[in-house]
Amino acid sequence: MGRYLLRRLAACLLLVWLVLTGTFFLLHLAPGGPGGALEDPRIPSEQRLRWRELWGLDEPLAAQYARFLGAALRGEWGHSFQHHRPVAAVVAGALPATLLLAGAALGVEWTAGLLLGVAAARRPGSLFDELLRFLSLLLYSLPTFWLGLMAVLLFSFRWPLFPPSHLASVGAEALPPLARLADLGAHLVLPALAIGLPSAAALARFVRGSLVETLGQEFVLAARARGLSGRRVLWGHALRASLAPLSQLFGLSLAFLLSGTLAVEVVFAWPGIGRVTFDALAARDYPVVLATTALSATMVVLGSLVADLLLAWADPRVRRA
């Protein structure tokens, strides 16, 4: 297991390095380059020159790349052009909102996915099973940002049931703790559903397929022959055995949900990493773009690593491969 873990960690580090390197050179190839934000005529020329020297924008590209990698290894991302404060502080302020949204979406995915998958497996070939298959394909093929827009249109404007944007209502900080928590929950509903439902649809199909296969195995038939109730056989034996092949999906869900939050945060003006990245791109705040790209890549890679480790734990053959 130790050698397998080391191989996976090395692959993850290589992938993060490739993402950072590609992002660095793409930003330098973009019109205006990293120094485009400093071309604002309202900025005094002396200050512009001082900032260019501070950020090393006049150095050769190779020297800038070496400086960038060294700073990334130390966790030093410089100062934001837009926010005029350390990039680390900007990212740290946005990360909790992204993690909260991703956690809520993960709860939606696994709760809905497991329940729907089990319900479909109990009646394979039924109208409900076919309807779930159709809805799963439909939901999984729709972009999350489009689902978010439709959710806002229907449930915030057509039927004003939930707030359309932001993390909290204006003046929510003055509310009692329970009311503040309820306000936060209301703001979480639509973005969490927009992110979690497509993943729940895919998970339901996986659960259904794995469970239908397990229900036909000998140990399940033996449990039924011993007189156990259908519910106990399903939940206590078949489902538990079916979850081992699905363990890898949990890590992949983390990777998908963390990346899926980025577009949805823009739609709902959610103050997380995705919104910060979008605003930084619009303002050419490239230090923030590099930092958020590094963080997003790291979170996705860690999610994939968790998926690989769960699969190795569930199937020893993977560790020996």
- Tell me the pLDDT tens digit for each residue of 13-37: 888 888 888 888 887 777 666 666 5
**Residue 214: half-sphere exposure toward Cβ, Cα within 13 Å:** 24
Judged by phi (left if over 0) then psi (alpha if -120 to 50, else beta), residue 75 lies in left
Is 1 buried (19+), middle (13-18) or exposed (0-12) by CB count in 10 A?
exposed
Region 184-196: mean pLDDT is 91
Residues 6+ apart with CB under 8 A from 227: none
Contacts 24+ apart (CB under 8 A), 161-165: 162/186, 162/187, 162/189, 162/190, 163/187, 163/190, 164/190, 164/268, 165/268, 165/269, 165/270
Name the percent of the chain in helix, strand, coil, to the closest 5.
80, 0, 20
Ordered domains of the chain (ranges, CATH)? 87-320 (1.10.3720.10)
pLDDT at 319 over 60: no
pLDDT at 291 over 70: yes
Residue-level pLDDT at 49: 73
Output the CA angle 73-264-297, nearest 5 degrees: 20
pLDDT at 317 over 90: no
Higher pLDDT, 232 or 77: 77
Q: How far apart are CA 136 and CA 197, in angstroms?
A: 9
Region 262-278: mean pLDDT is 89
Is 19 buried (19+), middle (13-18) or exposed (0-12) by CB count in 10 A?
middle
Q: What is the pLDDT of residues 49-94, one digit of tens each?
A: 776 776 677 778 888 888 888 888 888 888 887 888 888 899 999 9
Tokens 């070939």 — which residue? 125
Residue 143, classed as helix, strand or coil, is coil
Q: How far apart are CA 294 and CA 274, in angstroms?
A: 13
pTM metric for this prediction = 0.82
